[in-house]
Amino acid sequence: MNEATFQAFATHSMKFVCTELNKKMMMHVSSSNEQSPVDGDGRPYDVGVLLDDAHLVGIEFKICEGGRFPSWHKGQHETYVGLTSDSPIVLPLYYAYNVLDGTQLNRLYNSDEFIPLLEGANVSKPKDLPGPRPSIVDHENMYDWLLAILSDPARCGRNGWTTISMQNEWDLAAGKTMALGEMLQGFPDIIWLLVTAHNGLRISWALTSSEMQEHVETLRATWKQRDLRSVKTEGLRQAYLELVEDNSNYIRSVWADVVSQRSNENDMDDRPDNGSFRP
């Protein structure tokens, strides 16, 4: 079995579970030439999945044969660890790999046994995958992982987004939306992932669409200036860690300005007007 077949089996099985639980699932398959995040516009996952309009995850699929990944790419792994570790902005990127062999997965898929199929695959955060030989007993199976996401709206203690407001719940009358449709067109690239990993910036009143786009382009320009293409494999983890931290600091400063502005607006609203003021 190759990775594309495993990916198709796993995502179809995820859709089956979501349908059975009356949950929505949208997905985007990234082409190989759009996955690299070096220029700030890559989508660093094989498949982006939006679950129940509330949880976005990016999944990198791997085939495990004889206890190891034949297609292991150290540079890719160093990149993923750098993107997802030691930062207040936690990106929802995961590895998924088969535990059962191809013959077993084929039998389950052809028999419509989709839950056992997901139970025969594991999910790991990048930092919990030390190399091309996964520690299978230490990783969660894909079915339990999916159920935990769908049954935990706050994603308590789990890697990834907490919540993302549904578009029809936003205050459209105020003219302030984050343009979710635009962000998810083709699913978010690395910069949009970083920006929207901040809870506050997903709140409708935080920024207008044009304001958000301006900040995204500033971050994208900063990202490109780092010239990540020139970084050697052994330096990728640290390079991405530093870049994510810099982006995190920028996003936190934007949020601090938003909170300050909101506070000032509230203070103005609380002041009595001239007609009601009496010395």
Q: What CATH code would you report for 3-151?
A: 3.40.1350
Least confident of 59-73, 108-122, 264-278: 264-278
Q: How far apart are CA 19 and CA 161, in angstroms?
A: 22
Tell me the HSE value of 54 on the side-chain side, using a 13 A CA sphere: 15
- Res 274: pLDDT: 52
Cβ neighbours around 253 below 10 Å, total: 10
Would you kindly state where each structural domain of the chain is located, as residue ranges? 3-151, 167-269
- Res 160: pLDDT: 41
Q: Let me know: does 70 contact 122? Beta carbons within 8 Å.
A: no
* Exposure string over 15-31, b if 16+ CB within 10 A, otherwise e: bbbbeeeebebeebebe
Q: Report CA torsion sign: 87, 181, 30, 141.
A: positive
Position with higher pLDDT, 22 vs 194: 22
Least confident of 135-139, 196-200, 224-228: 196-200
Position with higher pLDDT, 184 vs 71: 71
Q: What is the mean pLDDT of residues 193-215?
A: 71
**Three-state SS at 272:** coil
- At 203, list the tokens: 């709140």
Q: Which of 88, 56, 93 is nearest to 252 (CA)?
A: 88
Q: Which of 77, 7, 3 is nearest to 44 (CA)?
A: 77
Looking at the predicted structure, is the pLDDT value of residue 199 above 70?
no
- The rounded percent of the chain whose pLDDT value lies above 90 is 52
Looking at the predicted structure, is the pLDDT value of residue 103 above 50?
yes
Q: Let me know: does 47 contact 61? Beta carbons within 8 Å.
A: yes
- At 4, list the tokens: 């594309």
